[in-house]
Homo-oligomer: A and B are copies of this chain.
């Protein structure tokens, strides 16, 4: 257990919730890393996301992230996604951290329009409509049974899991899901844009919630169906099922806080799962985002989901497009924070991990 504590001491791993030690101690051995990808028409709203250079290119963001993560190169288009101002997708962090740990990523298709040209675990979900319809998701028959089966299988395959995501527009659907579940989130979710785009998000989410007209007693999965994205309920149900057996780290920032909120609501509705096996890991950029409030959201969830920030700092990088992460141009995605968290837990120093990330960026 000295590695995690040492990592905590020098700032590589920081706890965002009280009493994280018991959860951290259970993260022994090599995790399984899975990344759930999904599409929503919400991402088509102009100005909603910077996870990709243009709205057209954002349709390919999740596929390209998945391809680069698994195959080491994009297939569907010639280049991996980047912020309109230049910085590359956070998948470069994930790819470097998983390689450092000698881990391979599993792509989970939670409902994607442009399928990545990688092996992908299909659950049966469909892409999401725009949340402003108030009827964002269809749940095909058997979806929950598939998600539970996948969760059982994942849990039987490794001593602990990281479940990450690549869903463009996902912080907006995080906001709508949190608000729909009654968790105050306005002005508190992160964004792929510096300073956030809270006004646009608020307006879209207000329209979504008005269109949904959720009754007071709406169930967790009804709320997600109305104003969520396909990744959220799929990952929540998989994570709960897996939590019966092993610790599960949700890999992401405020998007995964929304998944955690959904999972906690499902638990309160009697869905099986173990809250003490649920955690979350993200980046310092999300944890310290002055335009958001992840710690506050986690606090409103009761602090029961152990949460951590990986102390990535690209200020000293020799690569200008990595330095720009420090401006808030890119903060999280594709489980970058959780993958770095796992690398730090595994004993990697910040300097060595940064060197690996720079190597990945130079190879682009």
Q: By the criterion CB–CB under 8 Å, are A75 and B142 in contact?
A: yes
Whose C-beta in chain B lies nearest to the C-beta of A154?
B104
Q: By the criterion CB–CB under 8 Å, are B150 and A119 in contact?
A: yes
Q: Does A56 contact B (CB under 8 A)?
A: no
In whole angstroms, what is the CA distance A33 to B272 when docked?
25
Least CB distance, A208 to chain B, in whole angstroms: 29
Binds B, one of A121-129, A162-170, A251-259: A121-129
- What does DSSP make chain A's interface, helix, strand, loop or mixed? mixed
Q: By the criterion CB–CB under 8 Å, are B103 and A149 in contact?
A: no
List the B side residues contacting A75 at CB < 8 Å: 142, 145
Against B, the Cβ 8 Å flags (1 = close, 0 = not) of A98-136 are: 000011111001000000011111111000000000000
A contacts with B, residue count (CB < 8 A): 30
In whole angstroms, what is the CA distance A152 to B105 when docked?
10
Copies of the protein in its oligomer: 2
| CB < 8 Å neighbour of A32 from B70, B104, B150, B157 | B157
Q: Does A8 contact B (CB under 8 A)?
A: no
List the B side residues contacting A142 at CB < 8 Å: 75, 117
Least CB distance, A32 to chain B, in whole angstroms: 6
Q: Does A146 contact B (CB under 8 A)?
A: yes
In whole angstroms, what is the CA distance A181 to B56 when docked?
47
User: Knowing A32-B157, A157-B158, A158-B157 touch, does A71 contact B149 (C-beta < 8 A)?
Assistant: yes
Q: Does A156 contact B (CB under 8 A)?
A: yes
In whole angstroms, what is the CA distance A124 to B115 when docked?
10
In whole angstroms, what is the CA distance A147 to B71 when docked?
11
Least CB distance, A108 to chain B, in whole angstroms: 8
List the B side residues contacting A104 at CB < 8 Å: 149, 152-153, 156-157
Against B, the Cβ 8 Å flags (1 = close, 0 = not) of A70-84 are: 110001000000000
Q: By the criterion CB–CB under 8 Å, are B124 and A121 in contact?
A: no
List the B side residues contacting A147 at CB < 8 Å: 119
Q: By the criterion CB–CB under 8 Å, are B146 and A119 in contact?
A: yes
Least CB distance, A335 to chain B, in whole angstroms: 15
| CB < 8 Å neighbour of A117 from B119, B121, B146, B150 | B146
List the B side residues contacting A153 at CB < 8 Å: 70, 104-106, 119
List the B side residues contacting A119 at CB < 8 Å: 121-123, 146-147, 149-150, 153
User: Knowing A70-B149, A103-B156, A117-B142 touch, does A109 contact B122 (C-beta < 8 A)?
Assistant: yes
Given contacts A71-B145, A71-B149, 12 further A-B contacts (CB under 8 A): A32-B157, A70-B153, A104-B149, A104-B152, A117-B146, A118-B146, A119-B122, A119-B123, A119-B153, A120-B121, A122-B122, A157-B158
